[in-house]
Amino acid sequence: MILDDLPLAAWATLRPDTPPDDVEVLGPRIWRVGGHVLKLFAEADRKRFRRIVRAHRQAGRLFRGEEGLAAQRLVAFAEAERALLLAFVPGRSGRMALLAGADPTRLLARSGDWLRCLHEGRDCDTGRFDAWAPLERLVPTPGCADGEGYEAAMHALRRSADALQGQKVRRAVLHGDLTLANLLFHEGGVTGIDFENLALHPAARDVGELWADLLLNVRRMPDEPGLMPEAWQAAFAAHYPDLDAGHAAFYTRHRLLRAWAAIPARPHDRGPARARHLANLRTLAAKGAFA
């Protein structure tokens, strides 16, 4: 049992009659305690923490009554300790499934079902696409691996931004950090986790970030030129009928560039995950995915 770093004061507030047992560290400031997950947001001010609580509650409402599709359930929270208590979700993340050799088309189909439910859970609206705001979050010259390739891809994304700027886009309640790591797959369906960044944005942003995570982590990239292989995109679109492929591709390239900027130039500084990302980015660049 691992108790050294468990915030015992927060646990006592959330579960005063239950001593902690069967403790497992899941990540920074995240613990599984029996059938629950304790998450700590020590650096969040009160306003931010209350937004996090509301986001988890809203996510739960959006999936209410959906068979096989769910959001991780909020059990309790302790504002003074900035702690959430959530139901533990068994299953394997989509990213781990992908790395283990799962079929990307099947993962995309099931992810499309889940994302459709999230985006249709509240009335959507439309707005004008601000393509330049995401570009401001990219580092122009990060000194990363294959820096010349990064800069060429960055220039191509700027040209795409010029073409897309001001176009009408569908907006929806977004997950805000939608990677395959935040979708847990199990026999009964798919459950999403980590709703701290739930907000209203162009719906294509969630799609693009999901696609980018798959492209960064897939074990084998098809030879088909371009960004998303046709079969993969078709599998997703069959379950997500409101797909805006053009804006989704913009966000996919944007997220890929964010990952690229974080890859150190020196090989021994990368680690296995970033080495895999770089190999896939090189393959994508060779196939003209950033053109």
Determine the longest span between alpha carbons in the chain, in angstroms: 59
Q: What tens digit of pLDDT does each residue of 62-71 get? A: 999 899 999 9
Q: Identify the three-state secondary structure at position 42.
A: coil
Task: Say what the pLDDT of residue 3 is.
Answer: 58
Residue 2 has pLDDT above 80, yes or no: no
Q: Which domains does the chain have, with CATH numbers?
A: 8-88 (3.30.200.20), 93-286 (3.90.1200.10)
Strand positions, DSSP E, 183-271: 183-186, 189-192, 199-202
Q: pLDDT per residue over 98-153, tens digit each?
A: 999 999 999 999 999 999 999 998 878 899 999 999 999 898 878 899 999 999 99
Separation between Cα atoms, residue 182 and residue 176, nearest integer Å? 11
- How many whole angstroms separate alpha carbon 126 and alpha carbon 128? 7
Taking each continuous run of H as one helix and of E as one strand, the counts in the chain are 10, 12
What type of residue is 6? L
Tell me the residue type at 91. Answer: G
Q: Which of 6, 117, 104, 142 is nearest to 60 (CA)?
A: 117
Question: Distance between CA atoms of 94 and 105, rounded to whole angstroms?
Answer: 12
Decide: helix, strand or coil at residue 153.
helix
Q: Which pairing describes strands 92-93 and 183-186: parallel, antiparallel, or unpaired?
A: antiparallel
Spatial CB neighbours of 199, under 8 Å, sequence gap ≥ 6: 173, 174, 176
Tokens 């499934």 belong to: 97
State pTM to two decimals: 0.94
Least confident of 39-48, 97-106, 117-126, 269-278: 117-126
